[in-house]
Amino acid sequence: MDYEIKLQEFEGPLDLLLHLVQKHEIDIFDIPISEITEQYIYYINQFKEYNMELSSEFIVMAAHLIQLKSKLLLPIEENENGEEIDPRDELAQRIYDYKIFKEISGFIKSKEDTYLKIFYKDPEYQLINDDIITNIDINSLLEAFKKVIAKSKIEAKDEEIIIHKIQSETIRIEDKIKQIITQLDNNETVEFSSLFPHRPTRTNIVVTFLALLELLKKNVIKFIQYKTCGEIIISKV
Amino acid sequence: MDVVNLKAAIEAILFALGEAISLQEIAQALDTSTEETKKLMDELVDGYNSGEKGIQIIQINTKYQFCTRPKYHEYINSLMNERSTSGLSQAALETLSIIAYKQPVTRVEVENLRGVKSSSSLQTLIDRNLIKEAGRLDAPGKPFLYETTFEFLKYAGITNLDDLPEYEVFVASVHSQEHEEVAIQID
Amino acid sequence: MDVVNLKAAIEAILFALGEAISLQEIAQALDTSTEETKKLMDELVDGYNSGEKGIQIIQINTKYQFCTRPKYHEYINSLMNERSTSGLSQAALETLSIIAYKQPVTRVEVENLRGVKSSSSLQTLIDRNLIKEAGRLDAPGKPFLYETTFEFLKYAGITNLDDLPEYEVFVASVHSQEHEEVAIQID
């Protein structure tokens, strides 16, 4: 089933991109950004449909792809030697490097198979002296235990009982959109920086940014900037 | 599997098991007859007895086990002595840590977690008075349960077991998601 | 002690110690030179490698240790209680690969290459004793550097890091795959 996409199968956005590139037999260094972006977003929407949690890196990459797409519409830049700069180069290099390390991880995995098949033995027991151990380093005890547990899969069963699950932050883009509109309803203009709390999380930044792009696309808001690097003012169209 | 490989398999089993094992058990593992296993075992024992070897296979009743030759005892002793000045061996420390955190616990559970036969480590800890037998588990074979002793608390410098550094925090960190997952809705 | 006996003594020591031991330690116990010990050890290792044996002596850096040959694992497994040792996740494998080839390396470098957060993978690898902190980078924030451990060498089945295939080997392999893909496209 082609639509049975498992997010777990992808280690991250680079893994997903590599999958797309391989699936469509595309040269990494000559990626048709438009098509790939479409495919990428299609996959992400599939994840969403299956109600899978999506790490923020996937969203950041989506934004990056869209940015690349728009860059490709602009006149080609040249470096100081007068050579054309392909805006896709950096991404291509990242996918390529990732591909190599994925290849290496296959090799490492093959080594692991052997490692797990080898048995060692404990030291033979000999009571050499009757010295009483009067000092047990409690931290090395914990370290030793961590090592044992890390290697074992038994704990996975206990996990549900023990684990204190770290609450993940959930911010929906649509909520953010509503929030921005409410702010604009109350005031004529809103300063860009005022959209973020004192110490915004990465998710918050990404979601706010995507909400703004969405509103901009739908022609609901416009940006005004009076001087370079000055505060960006958001107002309703 | 041919004879040479079967002999090698027996060798591997004897080494990994560490403790004495019967011909029947080996035969079953190799999916061959006890008679065949006996023949192979005899050859293997002879092999270790011919020429000067540091290890040998000894027979105790109907069971077999690898062990060192007594004449090399002093070299082993001097090395073990050297190593034990630093307290417990890594093997014993691992075993002790499992008992401290999971007590009461059987030998089989310790070995499952470590992936290594641990009877010798358990004996070390018992003789050092760091662990003790604590009844038997109500399960087939009625295996012994082990727990830490009062001496353990004393030497670990803690007043009770609750003072052990918490391992739940650690388990949570191991099993927490690889990615800090965030549900983001995209439209 | 003659050569034959010295070799047997080394064999007995390796067996009894169980853990990896250096030539220096053995030489000291035998009251002989490291060079002589090395020569004897080489012969011993060769002896275990010639003919079909169930056990072997592996060299990790300058240390030696007895262990079983992997091909007999299923027979041992059937006798040992369900061994619970598990393999690494894909995320941890990727992280380990990057550290193996780029060490010493910071978390940020690992994350840049993988394109995802890797702190939990790093912790798993530290807990499994496959990587360790190796000082800090002299850069803003003084980030930790990570490198592989002695245990990693055992894991990878290599004597030292130079035994890892060159990075270029994988580049070439990826390259030939690309070629194949293009070739398929043409057909």
> pLDDT value at position B64?
95
Closest-CA residue to A191 (of A180, A206, A175, A176): A180
Give buried/exposed letters for C157-169 (b at 16+ CB in 10 A, else e): bbeeeeebeeeee
Are A112 and A157 members of one domain?
no
Q: Is it the case that residue C105 has pLDDT exceeding 70?
A: yes
Q: CB–CB of B79 and C11 under 8 A?
A: no
Question: Quick one: C42 exposed, middle or buried, by C-beta within 10 A (0-12, 13-18, 19+)?
Answer: exposed
Total domains in chain A come to 2
Do A77 and A12 belong together in one domain? Answer: yes
Contact, A13 vs A61, CB < 8 A? yes
A residues 197-226 near C, CB within 8 Å? none
On chain C, the residues whose CB falls within 8 A of the CB of A126 are: 16
User: Across-strand partners of B145?
Assistant: B106
**Same domain assignment for residues A46 and A136:** no
Mean pLDDT of B15-24: 91
Domain end, chosen from A93, A119, A145, is at A119
- Rounded distance between C-alpha atoms, residue A106 and residue C165, angstroms: 13
Q: What is the pLDDT of residue A46?
A: 82
Name subunits touching C (3+ CB pairs < 8 A). Answer: A, B
Q: Distance (Å) from the C-alpha of residue A106 to the closest C-alpha of chain C?
A: 8
- The CATH number that applies at residue A208 is 1.10.10.580
CA-closest candidate to residue A140, choices C19, C135, B97: B97
Instruction: Give domain B3-71's CATH architecture.
Output: Orthogonal Bundle (1.10)
- pLDDT one-digit tens code per residue, B82-94: 776 557 888 899 9
Same domain, A80 and A100: yes
* Boundaries of domain holding A172: 127-236
Any chain B CB within 8 A of the CB of A3? no
Distance from CA of B151 to the nearest CA of C (A): 27
B148 token code pair: 């830490």
Sheet (strand B55-60) strand order: B21-22, B63-68, B55-60
Higher confidence at residue B55 or residue B180? B55
Residues 6+ apart with CB under 8 A from C132: C126, C146, C147, C148, C149
pLDDT digits (tens, 9 = 90+) for B77-124: 888 877 765 578 888 999 999 999 888 999 999 998 888 889 889 998
| Chain B residues in contact with A126 (beta carbon < 8 A) | 76-77, 80
Cis peptide leading into B104, omega within 30 of 0? Answer: yes
- The per-residue DSSP string of A3-60 comes to T---GGG-SSHHHHHHHHHHHTT--GGG--HHHHHHHHHHHHHHHHHTT--EEHHHHH
Against chain B, the chains showing at least 3 CB pairs within 8 Å are: A, C
Give the closest of C76, C96, C128 to A108, CB-based.
C96
Longest Cα–Cα distance of chain A, Å, equals 87
The pLDDT mean for chain C works out to 90
Would the CB atoms of A126 and B80 count as touching at under 8 Å?
yes
Regarding whether A141 and A50 lie in a shared domain, the answer is no
Of B15, B82, B177, the CB nearest to C54: B15
**Is residue B176's pLDDT more than 50?**
no
Contact by Cβ (8 Å): A103, C174: yes
Class of domain C86-186: mainly alpha
Q: What's residue A173's pLDDT?
A: 79
Which residues, given as ranges, of chain A have pLDDT below 50?
Answer: 1-3, 155-168
Q: State the first-to-last Cα distance of chain B, in angstroms, to the nearest integer.
A: 61
Which positions in chain A touch B117 (Cβ < 8 Å)? 121-122
Residues of A in contact with B180 (CB under 8 A): 55-56, 168
pLDDT for position B4: 78
Q: Give the residue among C18, C144, A24 at the shortest CA–CA distance from B15.
A: C18
Q: Which residue blocks in A50-172 are alpha helix, DSSP H?
A: 56-71, 89-115, 138-151, 155-162
pLDDT of residue A155: 47
Q: What tokens does C178 get?
A: 């690309």
Tens-digit pLDDT profile for residues C34-91:
999 999 999 999 999 988 999 999 999 999 999 999 999 999 988 887 666 778 999 9
User: Over 60: is that where the pLDDT of B151 sits?
Assistant: yes
Q: pTM value?
A: 0.77
Give C-chain residues touching A8 at CB under 8 angstroms.
Answer: none
Residue B41 DSSP SS3: helix
pLDDT score of B177: 36
Q: Do B75 and C8 touch (CB under 8 A)?
A: no
ipTM of the complex: 0.84
Do domains B3-71 and B86-186 share one topology? The answer is yes
Would you call A138 and B157 a contact, using CB atoms and an 8 Å cutoff? Answer: yes
Chains in contact with A, counting 3 or more C-beta pairs less than 8 Å apart as contact: B, C
CA distance B117 to chain A (A): 7
Residue A170's pLDDT is 64
pLDDT at A159: 40
Higher-pLDDT residue of A13, B175:
A13
What pLDDT does A202 receive? 65
C 134-163 residues with CB < 8 A to A: 154-157
Same domain, yes or no: A134 and A151:
yes
Better-scored residue on pLDDT, C59 or B140 = C59
DSSP conformation class of C86: -
For chain B, the structural domain boundaries read: 3-71, 86-186
A122 with B116: CB under 8 angstroms? yes
Report pLDDT for C82. Answer: 67
Contact B72 C8 (CB under 8 A): yes
Please answer yes or no on whether A11 and C88 come within 8 Å at the CB atom.
no
Determine what percent of chain C is predicted with pLDDT higher than 70. Answer: 93
C182 reaches A (C-beta below 8 A):
yes
**Residue A87: is the preceding peptide bond cis (ω within 30°)?**
no
Chain B CB within 8 Å of residue C168 CB: no
Pairwise pLDDT comparison (A148 vs C25), residue with the higher score: C25
Please list every residue in chain C whose beta carbon sits closer than 8 Å to the beta carbon of residue A28. 178
What is the Cα gyration radius of chain B? 22
Task: Name every chain C residue with its beta carbon within 8 A of the beta carbon of A122.
Answer: 18
Indicate which of C79, C93, C98, C128 best probes the interface with A, i.e. most A CBs within 10 Å of its own CB. Answer: C93
Pick the residue from chain A with its C-alpha nearest to B68. A124
Sequence-distant (≥ 6) Cβ neighbours of residue A74 within 8 angstroms: none
Q: Is B129 on the interface with A (CB under 8 A)?
A: yes
Q: Give the pLDDT band (50/70/90) at residue B47.
A: very high
- Are the C-beta atoms of residues B93 and A96 closer than 8 Å to each other? no
Claim to verify: residue A4 and residue A102 sit in the same structural domain: yes
Q: Do C65 and A120 touch (CB under 8 A)?
A: yes
Nearest CA in chain B to C88: B174
